[in-house]
Chain A
């Protein structure tokens, strides 16, 4: 066991205008899970990309099992025994599980491919991880966690000794996190060295053995998780103590901003609720409960089969996001990479993309005003970027999220729907976003917040909608909300506690 498997020493890497890594180091032993922690833009992903050959380091050494190595691309790294499980999965959805696992190194039999052999071997690998997935299933039918397991199986096939996971639970519902963790545990038993990156700090205490902290690309310290408390960990991460409580203020007397009556838009069925100005309405449910679909229907992205709505007193039935935004409703997407950012455009253009109408000057766009307003958002939301002309793709994940949020805020919406607003955001920034939501609330914005993080929804919302399979299971007022009660509703009418229904 206790063998130093991976040693990264004095690693530096600079991008134009950014010293992403400044003599950072990382040591991982066989059979342990090492947490790699740091704020948004601290250099975690860059460190792992240097390890796996995506970027070339400017300085430093990487030693794998006693031998110095330099990988020039991801393929070399794989062959050298280093695998990385990205947040965006690299599987071919239309292919079967075993086909994905063996992609590029298919077993050959006498008559073409040795299918039976590959299926059997894949089954073996999955069994070693103690997961039940049929190797013949198509990948697109699997849940995200199951897809991650297929990726891990792929890594095991290549006999990876070091497995890196960059925010693997970012888009994972709670119940799937458990199964991922039992796989990680299994890998640890087998003596793999695992690097685990996450902004969900409770996970660090659940799964990690030791933690390494980076700040501004520099190594800040390394210690056993057993010696850490939540407070001391946050202190190390942010450099100052941080109030961990959710900021909350009760809503002022308000009027109805959005009233929805019997909305049906497949897979959402017959949903009625009201949303008031200056209120935060939490929306929760399992994956597939139709939370995002409800938001998309309200944003004009999905056709309505039945139902009606009013927005600020007037009938509301948007046919396109453009119409919804013009009426004062904005939806901030949960998937910033897929449909949030235009990666090739700079930070400035990304932020103002929805508000160009307001920037119209006498001679076309008023670029001066645009710069001024963008600068204000960069400062207010503390977006870490060398300049507003930096392309969005070069920002760290958390900072990209803030750019998408700025775009939403700039339209000054009357109703703002936030879909997983704190996804991939560090502890400090999370607090800032909560504060921001509170400010919006004080200004009379009606906020609908979709989140899978139970604590967050409970902490921020005035009322809660619980969805299950497209139906509204109940509305719970803040005072009477409890984790148990919500869980009962979330799991649907079949569960024991499912009967309790409170209306605000």
Chain B
């Protein structure tokens, strides 16, 4: 009986915590769709509504604290259940699975729950479509960065490569105002620029065994500079109907399909991940990448062409930057010299929150999209409840730190 105490207490805490959270959310959302509003606003809202029960009033005026209490109880409940799990082998295995193997999914689920409690505008189809559209470009960058991190390296040049490829595309559209062929040409150019940028990185990293961090730091500078040389300090706008190729090109960032529910960027992102997943899990190339990231010497002795595999992986990362460059340029219908600046941070964060080991050799690419989604949701909810954008940056840094910490802890036995 004593053995089951954590189980009983845990379930109790879960039920109580859940009830409190739901009650607070329901009560507060009768008046407002945002939970985090000041007490004064709450009281003035209450005065307009008459005939509320005493309990609902209490819950509403103190909903902030009630929800915190509820969430604390929920956390305690999960912790106690985890403790209970550790008593049996199967339970311990379940706990470990949830905390390590499925961690990104668990975080996604928890974040969805908490965020829906914070704002009634969060959990709607429209908002999620919006989030997915927001994350599409750096999720695509992240797929490329995933390759680099899987190999035990890193690619911090993706933001600059993105800018250069976007600028090339915009320039072609603008310089060929009369030809409708400018759109496909611009797409091709952007992809080609991405390939070249990635090949450049891969060549130095693979052929001369240089540090990926330093090589991509160099190309971060080189491609940002090249963008400035190409289009100068001002933006190249391709908005409107002045240019024959513009509307076709811009559709890649703005068009929606299926009656407005499926923006093209989301479709492109899904396609990219499908291909990448296939490469990683169903081809020799993917296995080779995992092997090189895990033990390069063993990979070499197994007959893997290490140099070629690395070269291809970094080139692919550049290609992803090219694709993301198209999407961003098309979405805002202009190319700016500062486009994509610091996007590498979001991409790396998505990979890390997605549970990929920074030591290389271990990870799942689909969790990278989960990681990107978590970051997107975090940005979204902060905007919804009105957190200052300066603070948002700080909070994002904290979340990245937390993810790395969790990764390091799960590596220990």
Question: At the interface, yes or no: A452 with Cβ under 8 Å from chain B?
Answer: no
B residues near A16, Cβ cutoff 8 Å:
89, 93, 96
Residues in B with CB closer than 8 Å to A353 are 287, 291, 299, 302, 304
Interface centre among A14, A333, A343, A353 (most CB of B within 10 A): A353
Contact bitstring B141-170, A, C-beta under 8 A = 1, else 0: 000000000000000000000000000000
Q: Is the CB of A333 within 8 A of B301?
A: yes
Do the beta carbons of A339 and B295 come within 8 Å of each other? yes
Bitwise, A51-63 to B at CB < 8 A (1) or not (0) is: 0001100000000
Q: How far is the CA of A325 from the CA of B295 in the complex (A)?
A: 19
Interface string of B274-307 (1 = CB under 8 A from A): 0000100011100110110011011111111100
Stretch touching chain B among A250-258, A360-368, A458-466: A360-368
Q: Which residues on A sit within 8 Å (CB–CB) of B287?
A: 349, 352-353, 356, 365
Is the pair A344, B361 in contact by a Cβ cutoff of 8 Å? yes
Interface string of A210-231 (1 = CB under 8 A from B): 0000000000000000000000
| A331–B297 CA distance with the chains assembled, in angstroms | 13
Whether B298 and A341, one on each chain, are in contact in the complex, defined by CB atoms closer than 8 angstroms, is yes
Query: A338-B297, A341-B298, A345-B361 are known contacts. Are A322 and B290 too (CB-CB below 8 A)?
Result: no
A354 touches B (CB below 8 Å): yes
Q: Assess whether A342 is in contact with B303, with CB atoms less than 8 Å apart.
A: no
Q: Is the CB of A345 within 8 A of B305?
A: no
Q: Which residues of A contact B175 (CB under 8 A)?
A: none
Instruction: Report the minimal beta-carbon distance from A447 to chain B, rounded to whole angstroms.
Output: 18
- B301 and A356 within 8 A (CB): no
Given A54-B413, A322-B303, residue A365 in contact with residue B297 (CB < 8 A)? no
Is A320 positioned at the interface, with any CB of B under 8 Å from its CB? Answer: yes
Pick the most buried of B297, B301, B357: most chain A CB atoms within 10 A of its CB: B301
A364 vs B280: C-alpha distance in the bound complex, in angstroms? Answer: 10
Known: A338-B297, A356-B284, A364-B278. A345 touches B303 (CB 8 A): no
The chain B residue with its CB closest to the CB of A338 is B297
Contact partners of B302 in chain A: CB under 8 A = 321, 353-354, 407
Q: Which of A55, A339, A360 contacts B284 (CB under 8 A)? A: A360
Q: Quick one: which of B93, B96, B294, B413 contacts A342, CB cutoff 8 A?
A: B294
Residues of B in contact (CB 8 Å), total 26
Check: A357 CB closer than 8 A to any chain B CB: yes
Could you tell me if A349 and B283 are in contact, using CB atoms closer than 8 angstroms? Answer: no
Most chain B CB neighbours (cut-off 10 Å) among A322, A339, A344, A349: A344
Q: A322-B303, A364-B278 are in contact. Are A55 and B413 (CB under 8 A)?
A: yes
List residues of chain A with CB within 8 A of the CB of B361.
342, 344-345
CB distance from B282 to the nearest CB of A (A): 3
Contact between chains at A343 and B303 (CB < 8 Å): no
Assuming the contacts A14-B89, A365-B283, asked whether A321 and B300 have C-beta atoms less than 8 A apart, the reply is yes
Per DSSP, are chain B's interface residues mostly helix, strand or loop, or mixed?
A: helix
Q: Is the CB of A357 within 8 A of B305?
A: no
Say yes or no: B295 contacts A341, CB within 8 Å: yes
Least CB distance from A223 to B in Å reads 33
Task: Determine the chain B residues whose CB is within 8 A of the CB of A340 once the complex forms.
Answer: 298, 301
Q: How far is the CB of A338 from chain B (nearest CB, A)?
A: 7
Contact with A along B178-199 (1 / 0, CB 8 A): 0000000000000000000000
A411 CA to B303 CA in the complex, in Å?
Answer: 11
Give the docked Cα–Cα distance between A275 and B88 (Å). 56
Instruction: With both chains docked as a complex, state the minimum distance between the C-beta of B272 and any C-beta of chain A, in angstroms.
Output: 17
Determine whether the beta carbon of A345 is less than 8 Å from that of B291: yes
CA distance A363 to B413 in the complex (A): 38
> Given the complex, which residues of B lie within 8 Å of A322, measured CB to CB?
303-305
- Say yes or no: A342-B295 contact (C-beta < 8 A), given A364-B278, A364-B283: yes
Interface centre among B93, B297, B300, B302 (most CB of A within 10 A): B302
Q: Which residue of A lies closest to B93 (CB)?
A: A16
Q: Determine whether the beta carbon of A365 is less than 8 Å from that of B298.
A: no
Does A131 sit at the interface, judged by CB under 8 A?
no
Chain A residues with Cβ under 8 A from B413's Cβ? Answer: 54-55
Q: Distance in Å from the Cβ of A357 to the closest Cβ of chain B?
A: 7
Whole-angstrom distance between the alpha carbons of A343 and B291 in the complex? 9
Q: Which of A299, A342, A367 interacts with B298 by CB under 8 Å? A: A342
Chain A residue nearest to B307 in the complex (CB) = A320
Report the minimum CB–CB distance from B65 to chain A (whole Å): 39
Q: How far, in Å, is B93 (CB) from chain A's closest CB?
A: 5
Q: For B89, give the chain A residue with the smallest CB separation.
A: A14
Decide if B282 touches A363 in the complex (CB within 8 Å): yes
Q: How far is the CA of A345 from the CA of B305 in the complex (A)?
A: 18
Question: Are B298 and A349 in contact, with the CB atoms below 8 A?
Answer: no
> Which residues in B have their C-beta under 8 angstroms from that of A344?
290, 294, 357, 361-362
- Inter-subunit contact A343/B294 (CB<8 Å): yes
Rounded to whole angstroms, the CA-CA distance of A360 and B282 in the bound complex is: 9
Cα A340 to Cα B298 in complex, Å, equals: 5
Cα A353 to Cα B290 in complex, Å, equals: 10
A320 to B297, CA, bound (A): 12
User: Is A487 at the interface (CB under 8 A from chain B)?
Assistant: no
Q: How far is the CA of A363 from the CA of B278 in the complex (A)?
A: 10
Whether, in the assembled complex, A301 has its beta carbon less than 8 Å from a beta carbon of chain B, the answer is yes
Q: Which residues of B contact A352 (CB under 8 A)?
A: 287
Nearest chain A CB to B409 CB, angstrom units: 15
Contacts of B290 in A (CB 8 A): 342, 344-345, 349
Instruction: Return chain B residues, CB-CB under 8 Å to A407.
Output: 302
Interface residues of A in 325-343 (CB under 8 A from B): 325-326, 331, 333, 338-343
Q: Is the CB of A342 within 8 A of B282?
A: no
Write the chain A residue with the least CB distance to B288: A356
User: A-side interface residues toward B, CB under 8 Å?
Assistant: 14, 16, 54-55, 299, 301, 320-322, 324-326, 331, 333, 338-345, 349, 352-354, 356-357, 360, 363-365, 367, 407, 411
Instruction: List residues of B whose CB falls within 8 A of some A CB.
Output: 89, 93, 96, 278, 282-284, 287-288, 290-291, 294-295, 297-305, 357, 361-362, 413
Q: List 13 A-B contacts (CB under 8 A).
A: A301-B301, A320-B300, A333-B298, A338-B297, A338-B298, A339-B295, A342-B295, A342-B298, A343-B294, A344-B361, A353-B299, A353-B302, A363-B282
| 19 new A-B contacts at CB < 8 Å, known A349-B290, A363-B282 | A14-B89, A324-B303, A339-B298, A339-B300, A340-B298, A340-B301, A341-B295, A341-B298, A342-B290, A342-B298, A344-B357, A345-B290, A349-B291, A352-B287, A354-B302, A356-B284, A365-B284, A365-B287, A407-B302
Q: Which 3 A-B pairs have the closest CB atoms?
A: A364-B282, A342-B294, A356-B284
